[in-house]
Structure 1
Amino acid sequence: MTATGTRAARGGTRPIRLSPGDVLRLGLIGVRVRKMRAVLSALGISIGIATMIMVTGIPSSSQQALLRQLTALGTNLLQAQPQQDGGTTATLPRNADVMARRIGPVTHASAVANAHRSIQRTDRSDPDDSIGISVLAARDNLLSTVNGSVHSGRFFTTATDRYPTVVLGYQAASVLGFKKLVPGEPAPQVVIDHRWFTVIGILDPMPLTRDLEQSALVGWPAATKYLHFDGHPTVIYVKARDDAIDDVRGVLPATLNPQVPDLVQVSRPSDALAAKRASEHSFSGLFLGLAGVALLVGGIGVANTMIISVLERRREIGLRRALGANRGHIRGQFLTEAVVLSGLGGLAGALIGAVAVAAYATYQGWPIVIPPTSVAEGVAGALLVGVVAGVYPSVRAARLPPTEALAAA
């Protein structure tokens, strides 16, 4: 035989190549014919992907809501207070808040001071029973510094801070039995250090400054006049620009107490919430592990379905082999079917997870945050599981001898 004839003979036995569309149509045959089995096989994959989307989406929505709340309440708020020195608490200068206000990036600075006095609902109450409420001297600009607001009544002004008036924190008002102040009605009174003080305001809750919620605030001049307050602040509140908050935190101790800056402790109210977010991330890692287990179980289910499908369709495999399909065609058909099953499960799981995140975030009043990377990674993971789960069944189907497959009952 000539070289040309040899090439022609070789060309005549060249295997037929299937286009990607043909392979996909072949892979969909098993899914269309056995719909219920396909649904049950994809269910495990969809549960795993839905769990993954929920585990990443719900904490992201919660974190976004928390960040918004912190921004509104004051993530750029610092608290400075003196520490103990040899058993006695160090003191801050009387004008410490004014000194802090001189720092360039600082936008607001205010102060409160413990007057070391008790408050009672009436003059018949036990004066030794403080009922857990601290009496604090407060500057007029305290609310603007800590982003506080008045629930009812009003806060101190230069016209009222010198008189025996008091503004109650939200929790303190609840303990004393006051819910709100009604305009036009006589203002209630409380007793502080055997003197009647008129309640002129009740504050809204302030989650980042819980101490103020449980306090009774008296104007700075009034505390000096009626409560014999020495004028030294015990807590300085400083608000600074977000981009300079760490720099201000570094220089604040030396600014407030140049002689012994080590005796000034500076903290951020949001630091405690950072620990809360860290614990949430720990639980997110646990749930991500559970999502991985669900994906593994789903992959095993797909592999089991494909193996059973190979056993049930041996005659189909034999017929296709007899009509000219080679092993590669058979492998491609069953591998594609496994990937399609997993892909459908992944898409369904991503949709279910996104709907669940949106519903839960809406119920909680949070912004809806669904990380696109989580959706993409979830679907890609489902496809990968499909590839892994379909390798063995597809290879097993391709290795079936045509005569044995045709002879199968």
Structure 2
Amino acid sequence: MTPLSRLRAADLLPVATIGLRSRPARAALSVLGVGIGIAAVVAVLGITRSSQADLLARIDRLGTNLLTVADGQSASGTERPLPATAAGGVGATSGVQASAPTAEITDVRVRRNELVPSAGTAGLTVRAADAALLSTLDGHLAHGAFLTDLTGRYPVAVLGQVSASRLGIADLSGRPRILLGGHWYTVIGILNPAELAPEIDRSVLIGFGAAAQDFGHDGHASRIYVRAVQERTVEVAAMLGRAANPEHPEDVAVSRPSAALSARLDAAESGTALFVGLGAVALLVGGVGVANMMVISVLERRTEIGLRRALGAARRHVGLEFFVESLLLGAAGGAAGVVLGAGATYALALQRGWQPLIPGSAVGLGLAAACAVGAIAGLYPALRAARLTPTDALRTG
């Protein structure tokens, strides 16, 4: 009885890597093809997770309980200003922790001095603001002080971050002054960026008293910032329209600034699916490259296969040799892809100031997908090699 041919496990790896060691350049290109696909998937998931974590941290830091009440529009598109009683009604609403009315003062030119042409405003807006605005927004000063009930009666101004930059005022040294319309105002403060109120960044803030005295403002608020009790934010938002304008609540625009940040999370998630799909396509192309290399390898090594079969190697041993070789290519590509993807994630996260986060599931699934691609790509070449008979392989090798 002829004994069964055996292939020891210790011999399988050296035999399976003969093709890889004899043609390293071709093997490296096949590994790179798989690696690019895995790198794309890992990098997309890692970058998305890092950016989302940063965005969630910003939302938590800024709070989701800031609301705004502003002039609305009628069904015909006509602007409907808030009534004079809006600020009082909003401030008295149950669940409101703090509120601060503001009003845009139109047709007022903002200039650094009288030598600057008065044709434009440099994209800046003059706003009358209540002394409670800074605390309501949970804002912070970069320099100086904010408006108070007392200083708001005098020609003093606080600059938003963008306003200060465009006017060329970096600090308060030398008691800088600016020209609003035909009136000089002393700058007493510069704000840090207000992420949930970008319109404040582009504003020059003055008191309601000064706005009435110099520009004839009637005291009406055009935008009211509201800080609600966190647990009652949705409930308060539903009540603010009627609180601001009891007769026509539908003419009041109530918004939640943090909703824009939350919408960015949804947009990031939808974009992730697209880029992961592109990474999967790249991985598929890499798998085709591995399969192509393995088929060529079988054709080139027909003599070797025939000789091994003639010396007693079983079909399963020959097939297993090529299958393991393809599996190793996929695994190597997966490992290289994870390293490349992680590197791209860390580089971009550090550049943007994010905390680098790479999901463990992305690493695990990436390696598993690469191995699966390698196994599938090597299945047909392995079966083809196993079907070769010794006589055919030696005759055509």
Q: Is the 8 A contact 1:117 1:227 kept in 2?
A: no
**Unaligned 5+ runs, structure 1:** 1-11
1:140 maps to: 131
1:50 maps to: 39
Deviations 1:120-158 (A, max 9, x none): 545788888655433322111211222322232211124
Q: Is the 8 A contact 2:110 2:124 kept in 1?
A: no
Between 362-371 and 62-71, the greater mean CA deviation after superposition: 62-71
Deviations 1:71-126 (A, max 9, x none): 4444432211121347452324446266346432x443222123446245457888
Over 3 Å counting, the alpha-carbon distance change for 1:97 and 1:340 in structure 2 is farther
Which among 73, 79, 85 is matched to residue 68 of structure 2?
79
The code of the aligned residue for 2:205 comes to L
Between 349-358 and 371-380, the greater mean CA deviation after superposition: 371-380
The code of the aligned residue for 1:212 comes to I
Over 3 Å counting, the alpha-carbon distance change for 1:175 and 1:25 in structure 2 is closer
Measured in 2, the distance between the counterparts of 1:37 and 1:126 equals: 68
Q: Is the 8 A contact 2:54 2:354 kept in 1?
A: yes
2:247 maps to: 259
Shift of 1:380: 1.5
2:104 maps to: 114
Alignment of structure 1 residues 187-266 onto 2, 5 Å: 187-192=175-180, 194-240=182-228, 242-266=230-254
Q: Is the 8 A contact 2:73 2:252 kept in 1?
A: no
2:308 maps to: 320
SS at structure 1 position matched to 2:190: strand
Q: Is the 8 A contact 2:93 2:240 kept in 1?
A: no
1:157 maps to: 148
Identity of aligned residues (%): 43
SS at structure 2 position matched to 1:114: strand
Question: Is 2:394 aligned against 1:403?
Answer: no
SS at structure 2 position matched to 1:83: strand
The code of the aligned residue for 1:108 comes to A
1:369 maps to: 357
The code of the aligned residue for 1:402 comes to P
Over 3 Å counting, the alpha-carbon distance change for 1:401 and 1:161 in structure 2 is same
Deviations 1:36-73 (A, max 9, x none): 33222211111111122122222332333333334444
Aligned residue pairs, count: 394
Measured in 2, the distance between the counterparts of 1:287 and 1:357 equals: 14
Between 122-131 and 294-303, the greater mean CA deviation after superposition: 122-131
1:41 maps to: 30
2:94 maps to: 103
Shift of 1:399: 0.6
Measured in 1, the distance between the counterparts of 2:290 and 2:391 equals: 28
Shift of 1:173: 3.3
Measured in 1, the distance between the counterparts of 2:248 and 2:12 equals: 78
Q: Is the 8 A contact 1:94 1:231 kept in 2?
A: no
Shift of 1:390: 0.8
Between 307-316 and 390-399, the greater mean CA deviation after superposition: 307-316
Q: Cα RMSD between the aligned structures? A: 3.2
1:181 maps to: 172
Measured in 2, the distance between the counterparts of 1:161 and 1:51 equals: 55
Over 3 Å counting, the alpha-carbon distance change for 1:143 and 1:321 in structure 2 is same
Measured in 1, the distance between the counterparts of 2:164 and 2:5 equals: 85
> Structure 1-normalised TM-score?
0.83
Measured in 2, the distance between the counterparts of 1:128 and 1:312 equals: 79
SS at structure 1 position matched to 2:47: helix
Measured in 2, the distance between the counterparts of 1:32 and 1:375 equals: 27
Over 3 Å counting, the alpha-carbon distance change for 1:110 and 1:17 in structure 2 is farther
Over 3 Å counting, the alpha-carbon distance change for 1:332 and 1:240 in structure 2 is farther
Over 3 Å counting, the alpha-carbon distance change for 1:282 and 1:307 in structure 2 is same
Measured in 2, the distance between the counterparts of 1:190 and 1:24 equals: 78
Over 3 Å counting, the alpha-carbon distance change for 1:15 and 1:369 in structure 2 is same
Question: Is 2:48 aligned against 1:59?
Answer: yes
Measured in 2, the distance between the counterparts of 1:170 and 1:178 equals: 10
> Structure 2-normalised TM-score?
0.85
Shift of 1:377: 1.8
Between 189-198 and 200-209, the greater mean CA deviation after superposition: 189-198
SS at structure 2 position matched to 1:229: coil
* Structure with greater Cα Rg: 1
The code of the aligned residue for 1:110 comes to A
Between 293-302 and 69-78, the greater mean CA deviation after superposition: 69-78
Measured in 2, the distance between the counterparts of 1:26 and 1:246 equals: 67
**Unaligned 5+ runs, structure 2:** none
Measured in 2, the distance between the counterparts of 1:219 and 1:383 equals: 67
